[in-house]
């Protein structure tokens, strides 16, 4: 009896693409380069910085740490801001090539946590006001808003601090409507419209304001946000020129910090 002819074995074709990476892939590779730089308990401990600095702000629990970790595709990057005693610090991250970073992310303390005493709230306000109104290198604000709740009064107050610099275009604004996976399509569209209505009040000819639905769970909006942030980075030549200046400024800030300044807005002390 003759054996049936062996069935030809079809090899799965190689799926690896050889063409150039898409803008989204490039932006995600860039945001993946985020690494912890330093933490500052006071504004004056922040290193002088000549790079575009992007502040991440939002109410506690709005999804800020998750958004930062998702953009960076790293589980623990924004973990420091959750460490007890560190929740009121400003944590800084570098982006871009190691030898010539081209952007700085500043993870600002979450606000509006119900258990925080009134005195601590006032301190928070002072810190935010100082940082958002006068930090010279601030060139962008990413505000996390829970898509199910929209802008609260506190979120609007924060926007008011930075509104004058947004109006002139000096500071760009990107609002992430977080946890968008919890909304259906219709609710998502409504959340976007509501947010746009609030943001329209800040709009001027020079302002650069964006808003997007964002979900760390199903990754919607993630690549778009990475692309926007990458477009705010310093051009390569500028970053290269600034690298030495920023390195020296950072070392100086580290020395100042080592002198052990008191922490005026620590979690525990009361007025």
Q: Count how many Cα atoms sit within 13 Å of the Cα of residue 196 in the half-sphere of its side chain.
A: 8
> Considering the complex, what minimum distance in angstroms separates the CB of residue 50 from ligand GDP?
28
Residue 139 binds ligand GDP (CB under 6 A): no
**Which conformational region is residue 207 in: left (phi greater than 0), alpha (psi within -120 to 50 degrees), or beta?**
beta
DSSP 100: S
Residue 181 binds ligand GDP (CB under 6 A): yes
Residue 63 binds ligand GDP (CB under 6 A): yes
Distance between CA atoms of residues 148 and 235, nearest Å: 37
Neighbours of 57 (CB within 10 A): 24
Residue 256 binds ligand GDP (CB under 6 A): no
Identity of the residue, 64 or 123, whose beta carbon is nearer to ligand GDP in the bound complex: 64
Segment interacting with ligand GDP, rule: CB under 6 A, options 10-18, 29-37, 42-50, 60-68: 60-68
Residue 61 binds ligand GDP (CB under 6 A): yes
Q: Where are the beta strands (DSSP E) in 100-194?
A: 103-107, 138-146, 172-178
Distance between CA atoms of residues 39 and 24, nearest Å: 30
> Considering the complex, what minimum distance in angstroms separates the CB of residue 146 from ligand GDP?
8
Number of residues that bind ligand GDP (CB under 6 A): 17
> Considering the complex, what minimum distance in angstroms separates the CB of residue 180 from ligand GDP?
7
Residue 47 binds ligand GDP (CB under 6 A): no
Identity of the residue, 51 or 216, whose beta carbon is nearer to ligand GDP in the bound complex: 216
Residue 179 binds ligand GDP (CB under 6 A): yes
DSSP 116: S
The number of residues making up the chain comes to 271
Structure tokens at 133: 């109104």
> Considering the complex, what minimum distance in angstroms separates the CB of residue 177 from ligand GDP?
10
- Cα angle vertex 182, ends 180, 183, to 5°? 70
Ranges of H-type helices in 201-235: 222-231
Distance between CA atoms of residues 123 and 59, nearest Å: 15
Three-class SS of residue 87?
coil
> Considering the complex, what minimum distance in angstroms separates the CB of residue 68 from ligand GDP?
8
> Interface mask (CB under 6 A) for ligand GDP, residues 104-123, using x and -?
------x-------------
Neighbours of 231 (CB within 10 A): 10
Distance between CA atoms of residues 259 and 240, nearest Å: 30
Identity of the residue, 181 or 263, whose beta carbon is nearer to ligand GDP in the bound complex: 181
Segment interacting with ligand GDP, rule: CB under 6 A, options 40-48, 59-67, 120-128, 247-255: 59-67
Identity of the residue, 128 or 243, whose beta carbon is nearer to ligand GDP in the bound complex: 128
Residue 219 binds ligand GDP (CB under 6 A): no
Q: Which residues bind ligand GDP (CB under 6 A)?
A: 58, 60-66, 110, 144, 178-179, 181-182, 215-217
């Amino acid at each position: 009896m003759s054996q049936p002819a062996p069935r030809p074995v079809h090899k799965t074709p190689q799926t690896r693409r050889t063409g150039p990476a898409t803008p989204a892939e490039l932006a995600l590779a860039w945001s993946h380069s985020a690494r912890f730089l330093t933490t500052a308990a006071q504004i004056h401990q922040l290193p002088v910085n000549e790079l575009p600095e992007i502040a991440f702000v939002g109410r506690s629990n709005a999804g800020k740490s998750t958004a930062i970790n998702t953009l960076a595709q790293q589980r623990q990057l924004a973990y420091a801001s959750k460490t007890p005693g560190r929740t009121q610090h400003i944590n800084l991250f570098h982006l871009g090539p190691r030898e010539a970073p081209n952007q700085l992310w500043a993870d600002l303390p979450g606000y509006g946590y119900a258990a925080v005493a009134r005195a601590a709230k006032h301190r928070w306000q002072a810190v935010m006001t100082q940082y958002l109104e006068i930090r010279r290198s601030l060139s962008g604000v990413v505000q996390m808003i829970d898509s199910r709740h929209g802008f609260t009064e506190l979120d609007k107050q924060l926007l008011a601090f930075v509104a004058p610099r947004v109006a002139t275009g000096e500071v760009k604004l990107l609002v992430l409507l977080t946890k968008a996976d919890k909304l259906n399509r219709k609710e998502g569209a409504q959340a976007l419209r509501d947010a746009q209505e609030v943001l329209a009040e800040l709009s001027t000819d020079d302002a650069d304001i964006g808003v997007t639905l964002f979900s760390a769970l199903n990754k919607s909006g993630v690549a778009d946000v990475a692309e926007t942030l990458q477009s705010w980075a310093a051009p390569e030549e500028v970053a290269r020129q600034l690298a030495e200046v920023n390195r020296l400024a950072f070392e100086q800030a580290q020395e100042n910090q080592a002198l052990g300044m008191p922490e005026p807005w620590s979690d525990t002390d009361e007025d």
